[in-house]
Amino acid sequence: MLTEQAALDVHYMARALELARKGLYSTHPNPRVGCVIVREGRIVGEGWHARAGEPHAEVHALRQAGELARGATAYVTLEPCSHQGRTPPCADALIEAGLTRVVAAMQDPNPEVSGRGLLRLMNAGIGVQCGVLESEARALNKGFLKRMETGLPYVRVKMAMSLDGRTAMASGESQWITGPEARSAVQRLRAQSSVVLSGADTVLADKARLTVRPDELGLDAELTALAAARAPLRVLIDGRLRGRS
């Protein structure tokens, strides 16, 4: 049975994960991260990372919290960064804001962080806990984690076929064999990806554009705009170099 504090930690981390999901289509190559700042049982700041090069989730939450961040607890879906990249270290921002406790869903596998952010917080006298809703946090960043932990890409294979195992009519004529819901799901997966890769025969036969179609995403206006703003690279595999135009 969870203690009262453990139950609260799960509650607020769940909200941080909900915020992190807003970056599902836009943070590449960065991970999706959400942050919630709580003081005396009340949320005083929230934030999520939208795009690489822009402020991280912790910074957005700290700006919203202002002076109320002092003495508060931050719930972050990924260990706060400790290195200077395109933005300053979030661990330093949390220390300077005067937080007394930081709860992270998981350690950042990025070799430039990898526990250093949590250690920096502890050395500053901040209470640190890691591992709250870790499996949910890992599920949110499968591509980032695969790349950081193995050096390999996370690959999805999309294939549509009829109940009898066919992908087209015997004549070769192409027909829709997926419904609107399936096509919408494919568009959302495509919008989350870095690269869309296909063979030349498929592209030439179907006149496939391999683009993200905003009207088929089935998302709200904010997420649709974010998804449409970052198109995945389109890669064509063909030993005869067809379709170059």
Among all residues, which ones are annotated catalytic?
Answer: 58
Residue type, 125: G
First to last CA, the chain: 62
- In 24-176, the DSSP E strands lie at 34-39, 42-48, 73-76, 101-104, 127-130
CB 130 within 8 A of CB 104: yes
> How far is 57 from 61, CA to CA, in rounded Å?
6
SS3 state of residue 73: strand
Q: Which of 194, 187, 183, 205 is nearest to 235 (CA)?
A: 194
> How far is 199 from 222, CA to CA, in rounded Å?
33
